[in-house]
Amino acid sequence: MGRRALGLDASTFAFFTRNPRGGNAKALDERDVAELRQIMEKNGFGQLVAHAPYTMNLCSANPETVDFARRAMAGDLERLDSLPGNYYNFHPGSHVKQGPERGIELICEGLNEVLVPGQKTVVLLETMAGKGSEVGRSFEELARIIEGTKHDELLGVCLDTCHVNDAGYDIVDDLEGVLDEFDRVIGLDRLRALHLNDSKNPRGARKDRHEKIGRGTLGVDCFAAIVRHPFLRTLPMVLETPNELDGYAQEIALLRCLAGEDSD
Catalytic residue among 163, 166, 169, 190: 163
Catalytic residue among 4, 21, 184, 228: 21
What span, in angstroms and rounded, lies between the C-alpha atoms of 240 and 56? 19
Catalytic residue among 18, 95, 137, 210: 210
CA nearest to 108, candidates 120, 96, 93, 128 = 93
| Helix/strand/coil for 101 | helix
Catalytic residue among 126, 141, 166, 251: 126
C-beta of residue 92 within 8 angstroms of C-beta of residue 125: yes
Q: Write the CB contacts of 204 (distance below 8 Å, at least 6 apart in sequence).
A: 166, 167, 168
Catalytic residue among 102, 229, 240, 256: 240
C-beta of residue 191 within 8 angstroms of C-beta of residue 160: no
Is 160 considered catalytic here?
yes
Is 140 considered catalytic here?
no
Is 147 considered catalytic here?
no
Q: Write the CB contacts of 224 (distance below 8 Å, at least 6 apart in sequence).
A: 258
Catalytic residue among 76, 192, 195, 248: 195
Catalytic residue among 160, 166, 198, 251: 160
Is 174 considered catalytic here?
no
Is 126 considered catalytic here?
yes
What span, in angstroms and rounded, lies between the C-alpha atoms of 23 and 109? 21
Q: Write the CB contacts of 52 (distance below 8 Å, at least 6 apart in sequence).
A: 16, 17, 72, 73, 76, 88, 89, 90, 91
What span, in angstroms and rounded, lies between the C-alpha atoms of 263 and 240? 22
Is 88 considered catalytic here?
no
Is 51 considered catalytic here?
yes
Catalytic residue among 91, 95, 144, 190: 91
Is 54 considered catalytic here?
yes
What span, in angstroms and rounded, lies between the C-alpha atoms of 170 and 154? 28
Is 151 considered catalytic here?
no
Is 240 considered catalytic here?
yes
Catalytic residue among 32, 54, 153, 174: 54
Residue 208 DSSP class: -
Catalytic residue among 18, 51, 95, 144: 51
Catalytic residue among 134, 208, 248, 251: 208
Annotated catalytic residues are 21, 51, 54, 91, 126, 160, 163, 195, 208, 210, 240
